Amino acid sequence: MSYRTLMTVPILGRANASLLEATARLARKLDAKVIGVAACRPVHTICRDYAIPASVFDQDRMQIQRQMHDVEMQFRTALADRGGNISWDAHTGLEPLAAHLAEVSASADLLVVPLPAAGTAMDATRQPDLCDLVMEAGRPVMLVPPAPPPALDRIMVAWKDTREARRAVADSLPLLAKATAVTIVGIEDAGDAAAARHSVERVRAWLASHDIVAKSRTVPPRRANAAQLIEIAREMGTDLIVAGAHGYVRQGRWVLGGITSELLAGDRCALLSH
């Protein structure tokens, strides 16, 4: 298994240098093609409760054109060394951005998307809802923070024996195979440490069948599982956290599990699968 095609999603009107640099490094590492996708919604799609002057429509249209051009130039410059192995798609539509990106993700093996900088205001005309995208894409999604690691050589698998975690490990095989250090970390259930060790060891053995050498580690619970796993990742100097994205829909909105919500709101490079 390999990632033959990456899809990267720069955000209009925002700094994308870190995202595109990380995408370029990943493309070189995997010898992969890259699709750049820019998507936005006109301003009237989120201003439904009051009238919008015609001049605002015109300004929005001109701004979209300018931002689309600028972000395409950023993409082509950052990926120039990929030659003909890149393509570009720009889309303006009425549907939520996550829905559009989930649809076009059928063309890619891995989505590479930016995590917003702390304190950045959400703009639903320019930024996809990351929660919706991760849960609906049907593809692994790599979250890239504003300051991504220089390499993805040290990978931690945040393990819990669930469907989502099993899928995340399988989806991350191309990266695990190229890593210099892989560690599977599980949180022990109260009173049943042996079961956690057995579960983690089973994953380690499965990775070994793919010629991936991994260490296994279980720890007793000391705090909320999500916070503890992220703390362990920091202590280990982890470049990338691989985790299953847990969630369910309630009253029309996704309700996320702890590790999923922490990674979507955090500053760690992560690969999530649902």
Instruction: Report the pLDDT value the prediction gives residue 248, as an integer from 0 to 100.
Output: 64
Q: Which amino acid is at 184?
A: I
Sign of CA dihedral 21, 23, 25, 28: negative
Instruction: Report the pLDDT value the prediction gives residue 246, as an integer from 0 to 100.
Output: 80
Residue ranges per structural domain of the chain: 5-144, 154-273
Yes or no: say if 46 and 40 are a contact pair by the CB < 8 Å rule. no
**CA angle, residues 172, 86, 167, in degrees to nearest 5:** 15
Say how far apart CA 228 and CA 109 lie, in whole Å.
Answer: 30
Domains 5-144 and 154-273 share a fold: yes
The residues facing 91 across adjacent strands are 39
Contacts of 150 by beta carbon, 8 Å cutoff, 6+ apart: 25
Domain 154-273 in CATH 3.40.50.720: no
Q: What is the pLDDT along the chain (274 residues), one digit of tens a residue?
A: 789 999 999 999 998 999 999 999 999 999 999 999 999 998 866 666 666 666 777 888 899 999 999 999 999 999 999 988 999 999 999 899 999 999 999 999 999 999 988 778 788 889 999 989 998 999 999 999 998 888 899 999 999 999 999 999 999 999 999 999 999 999 888 767 888 999 999 999 999 999 999 999 999 888 788 889 999 999 999 999 999 988 666 656 655 667 888 888 888 899 999 9
Global confidence as pTM: 0.92
Domain topology for 5-144: Rossmann fold (3.40.50)
Instruction: Report the pLDDT value the prediction gives residue 251, as an integer from 0 to 100.
Output: 57
Instruction: Report the pLDDT value the prediction gives residue 122, as an integer from 0 to 100.
Output: 82
Distance, C-alpha 195 to centroid of its chain: 30
Say how far apart CA 263 and CA 143 lie, in whole Å.
Answer: 8
